[in-house]
Amino acid sequence: MNFDFSEDQKLLQKTAKDYLEEHSPLTVCREVLESDAPYARDLWKGAAQLGWLGTAIPEEYGGAGFGYLELAVIAEEIGRALAPIPFASSVYLASEALLRFGSDTQKQKYLPELASGEWIGTFAVAERPGQNGAEGIETSFAGGVLSGTKVPVLDGDVANFAVVVARSGHGSGLSLVLTDLDGDGVEREAIKSIDPSRSTARVVFSKAPAELLGEDGPGDGAGQTDALLDRAAVLMAFEQLGGAARAFESTLEFTQGRYAFGRPIASFQAIKHRLADLWCEIELARSNCYYGAWALSNEDSELGIAACNSRISSSHAFDLAGVEMIQLYGGVGYTWEYDCHLFYRRAKLLSVALGNPASWKDKLITRLLESRAAAASAEARNTDD
Residue 267 is a binding residue for another protein (CB under 8 A) = yes
Residue 361 is a binding residue for another protein (CB under 8 A) = yes
Find the binder of another protein among 106, 250, 309, 351 (CB under 8 A): 309
Residue 177 is a binding residue for another protein (CB under 8 A) = no
Q: Which segment (56-64, 76-84, 275-283, 342-350) binds another protein by CB under 8 A? A: 275-283
CB-based contact 40:83 (threshold 8 Å) = yes
CB-based contact 264:295 (threshold 8 Å) = no
Residue 369 is a binding residue for another protein (CB under 8 A) = yes
Find the binder of another protein among 123, 205, 294, 318 (CB under 8 A): 294
Residue 10 is a binding residue for another protein (CB under 8 A) = no
Return the number of the residue (129 or 262) whose C-beta is nearest another protein. Answer: 262
Residue 143 to residue 209: CA distance in whole angstroms:
9
Residue 5 is a binding residue for another protein (CB under 8 A) = yes
Find the binder of another protein among 8, 118, 272, 370 (CB under 8 A): 272
Would you list the DSSP string of 305-369? HHHHHHHHHHHHHHHHHHHHHHHHHGGGGGSSSSSHHHHHHHHHHHHHHTS-HHHHHHHHHHHHH
Would you list the DSSP string of 219-251? SBHHHHHHHHHHHHHHHHHHHHHHHHHHHHHHH
Find the binder of another protein among 101, 291, 318, 343 (CB under 8 A): 291
Return the number of the residue (6 or 105) whose C-beta is nearest another protein. Answer: 6
Residues 68-97 that bind another protein (CB under 8 A): 69
Residue 234 to residue 293: CA distance in whole angstroms:
6
CB-based contact 350:318 (threshold 8 Å) = yes
Residue 128 is a binding residue for another protein (CB under 8 A) = no
The torsion angles phi and psi of 76, rounded to 5 degrees, stand at: -60, -40
Residue 279 is a binding residue for another protein (CB under 8 A) = yes
Find the binder of another protein among 149, 172, 297, 356 (CB under 8 A): 297
Find the binder of another protein among 11, 142, 260, 280 (CB under 8 A): 280
Q: Which amino acid is at 100?
A: R
User: What are the residues whose beta carbons fall under 8 Å from the beta carbon of 75, sequence distance 6 or more?
Assistant: 87, 92, 235, 236, 238, 239, 242
Least separation in angstroms between CB 165 and another protein: 24
Residue 247 is a binding residue for another protein (CB under 8 A) = no
165-204 b/e with 16+ CB inside 10 Å = b?
bbbbebebbbbbbbbbbeeebbebebeebebbbbbbbbbb
Q: Footprint of another protein on this chain (CB under 8 A)?
A: 1-6, 69, 252, 255-256, 263-264, 266-269, 272-273, 275-277, 279-280, 283-288, 290-291, 293-294, 297, 308-309, 312-313, 358, 360-362, 364-365, 368-369, 372
